[in-house]
Chain A
C-alpha cells in the first residue's frame, strides 16, 4: 500500500505554557473523509491551522504527497494541492461570484506578467480551462441561480458553497473544511454532506473539523477524537461512538454533550 497523502507525525504546538496540540499523528488517504472531532478546546482549530499553514508547529512534521510542508507558507500549500475553506465565509466582496471562484485557481496559471501582457496562447488556454472548471463547480454546488449576484448578498449557506467551490477549482488533492456545517440550516447541512461525499468520490481527500457529531459521523470514513490536544481515539465512526474514552470526553463535558 502506498503512503497516505497526508502524514502528520508528532505534531506539537505550545502557546507559552499551554500545550494546544501534543504529539499528534494523523494519516489521510486519497478519497478519504477524515473527521477531526472533540469538545471545545481540544485543539481542533490549532491542528487545522498547522496543517493549513496559518500557524507553525513547535515540533513535528507534516508531509503532503511525500513533501515536508511543515514550514511552508499557506499559499505554497495551496499550490501543492492542499486547499481549505473558512468557518467564517471569506468572500472577495468586490468581485463577481465567478471571479471569486477563479481566484482559487491562481496557482494553476504558469508564466509571469510578461505572458499576461503579451496574451500568451498558453495563458488563454489556461484561462478557458479555469472558466470551464469554475462553471462546472457552480453547477456542482448549485450556485447557478446566483451567478450574477453581488457576493455580499449571498446567504450564509450560499457563501459556504462558494467557499467549497473556490477551494475545489484548482483540482486539489486534499481539502480542509473548517466547521463546514456551522451556521447552516438543516436542509443546507444535508446538501453539504452530499457535496462532501461527492468530493471524496472524485478521489479528493477531505479533512473536516467539526463538533457536530450528527453531521460528521454518518459522513466520515474515519474519525480522530482530540481531548486537551491529545488523540484519544482514531477509527471508523461506529467504533468511535462506542469508545468509552470518547463517551467520557463528550458526556463529561457539557459543551460536547450539547452537540452529541
Chain B
C-alpha cells in the first residue's frame, strides 16, 4: 500500500496525508511540493518506505544531505511502476 503526497507540509492536505500514512504504516510517495516532507527531521518514528520523485526534489533545491537517509529516489517511470504494482494506492493528498 502506498500513500501519494503532492502538497507541501504547510497545507492541511499535506499534513493529513502524511499523518494518515504514518498511522497506517503505509509506504509513502512524495512528489511535487510533497517532496518538502522529505526533510529528515519530519520522520521520527516512521517505519514505512519513502519514495521521492528526484526531478521534483532537484527543482526545489533539496539535496541528499538534508533528506531522509533511506529515501528511495525514483524517476517518473519508477512512479508509474510503483502505482501499477502496488495493490492499493491512496492519494493524492
Q: Is the pairing of A and B real?
A: no
- Listed in ascending order, the chain A residues whose CB lies under 8 Å from chain B are none
